[in-house]
Structure 1
């Protein structure tokens, strides 16, 4: 899978950080915090992009992968949702070895310029980790979550990012057909479990305002 990104660099004190963003943010995507769940509503293109970003996080341990989503919260995929009071969030994916404190994000974000256009290639597919494995008591390869500056930070290892990208690919592959066929249940979704007792699962639902 190949897609365009912009690469931004900025310094905080003696440290320089690299932030990677999609060159074309998805038109039909939103991430909402309703207090109980983290809900991602995505059309097919957005779900495939998200799968690509998840795999990019696995191969870019020195970068923060930033997906701005808040500005589209009132349109696109969000138009079909009805979560009064839910808080729109941006998303940042990062490898745990980077040891970036979310409290520094607002300052870093404010220092980012227009960035340089690049093209990145990530594997089209990766092995998936089942939900039971993520929650197994012996599993220590987990996601960790932090909320700061209207942004969800998902921190993990290359292995866990690589193996769970398939949750987004699953929604991209099956969501559109499910919607066209009017399949029972009303929607198609997947759930991405963190395995961390202090974190919430991410509910990923196919939602396309363009569907009849």
Structure 2
């Protein structure tokens, strides 16, 4: 097994510093993962997973859904948040309070006590799916952190610097791990390497990632 994922059981409950303003909270979602996944099934029944396209016309390899006041969309018009799901024409499903409360608690543990997320992006990775190096900068209030929850298959998370060319840390993320970054780390570049083939008891051949954001100005 890759050293990045070795001894993950022994790391449950630890908090690891990636940089000033960025932490990995090991295993925080583990105990409630089955509940979270049931809620995600409810969201995706209303806002089905889909492959969005980049402004350049390239399909993204991850399947995506959203819940909350706003949802993130990408198409030929660019990256942005929208109050309606362009696929259904309806408002995005409400963010389940259990998920919202969990994200708020993780943000507070990582040093961001005033987090109030109003958008949750739900990415579903099949084996081979990845997320290219990027910054999360579509939100108008960059003082709020990002809270990212990993469920299902493991993944290698790349966490870089404020420039695309900066060196990147390779961080192994397993089922239940949470990453929080904000403050001086808020605009650090990050990515997810292609997910490896595998099978998880709760998610099958998928990795599910939830990212909680404050997407509105108020």
Q: What TM-score, normalized to structure 1?
A: 0.27
Q: What TM-score, normalized to structure 2?
A: 0.26
Q: Which has the higher helix share?
A: 1
